[in-house]
A and B are shown apart, each in its own frame.
Chain A
């Protein structure tokens, strides 16, 4: 028994202040566990995992995201359900050489003058083509005015779709879910033609 106690006491005494310096790698390994390198993660995962002290940044990003979404919603409401009205203007058999097309919004056909208001204008180019974009669905009247300086235009009057001089005779254009292709034929100026 005494021998056994002697053994234990000697070992205890021997290892009482026993120490050894561990390899330097041990600290490096420990440090990498305590302070891991940030992983490359996806954008949205990164936003969600942002540390607590970036609360302001998360708030700013959140507000910006909401603003963008609201903008897109407003943009869609304003322009999403819009169509185009395009076509050609003719002076006789030929395409009109330059002019201006005017689109008028009609609210109530029974009172044309009070309910008609100018909606948009478009250039009629050398090829006689015009185009209105982002047009809201509804009822319209279309008028083409030839450019007075063009020689080929001088025998033709400003006209309503499809070929009318006066407003009351103009054909109503109804824009629904699809784009419209509409050609306007200008009314000949018979007084000039006779000359």
Chain B
């Protein structure tokens, strides 16, 4: 079984078979990441390809100080952010007290939804909401870090996330009401 170090070493020598092996090793999970950030499957493919180009271009920076998958994932997220930076339209910073909060009964109805349904809910979000939601709720970045990544203020990140959450809750409420029982 070939080690990560050997694979990386061969990839750095531009060995095409090693690069293909590397790609297939991480493609499934990274495509999952891209699907969360993209508005469509085609966009997710573009982000994936751009992301892997970045990975191979910057692979010499990886020092084996952490998980290789984690490093690839962060690179892929950065690729997704860059892809949509031009499309992000953030409104002026607003106070949190202006955000509308829905009170919903969050029972285990959520757990009954299939993964694809959750993905569709995310896809339906506007690109700004979707990006911030992914970074905060799923990747675990703080609002301060998100602000630095996207070039927005911390408060704008919070308000965008709040709006994303509200939109998701509305979508979940709608699905729940449409389901029998």
Binding site for B on A (CB under 8 A): 3-4, 6-8, 10-12, 14-15, 17-23, 25-27, 29-31, 33-35
Contact = CB atoms under 8 A, between A and B. Distances in A.
Interface of B: 14, 16, 19-20, 23-24, 27-29, 31-32, 35-36, 44-45, 48-49, 52-53, 56, 103-104, 106, 110-111, 115, 118, 136-138, 140, 165, 168-169
A14 B168 CA distance: 15
A11 B117 CA distance: 11
Most chain-B Cβ atoms within 10 A of its Cβ — which of A31, A33, A34? A34
B115 A26 contact: no
A4 B31 contact: no
A35 B11 CA distance: 12
Given A22-B44, A22-B48, A26-B31, 6 more contacts: A21-B28, A21-B31, A22-B27, A25-B45, A26-B27, A31-B20
A15 B110 contact: no
B164 to A, nearest CB: 10
Most chain-B Cβ atoms within 10 A of its Cβ — which of A14, A23, A25, A35? A14
A14 B27 contact: no
A26 B32 CA distance: 14
**Which 4 pairs show the lowest CB-CB distances between chains A and B?**
A19-B28, A18-B32, A8-B137, A22-B31
Contact of A23 (B45, B103, B104, B138): B45
A7 B106 contact: yes
Nearest to A35: B16
B53 A30 contact: yes
B45 A20 contact: no
Contacts of A6: 106, 110
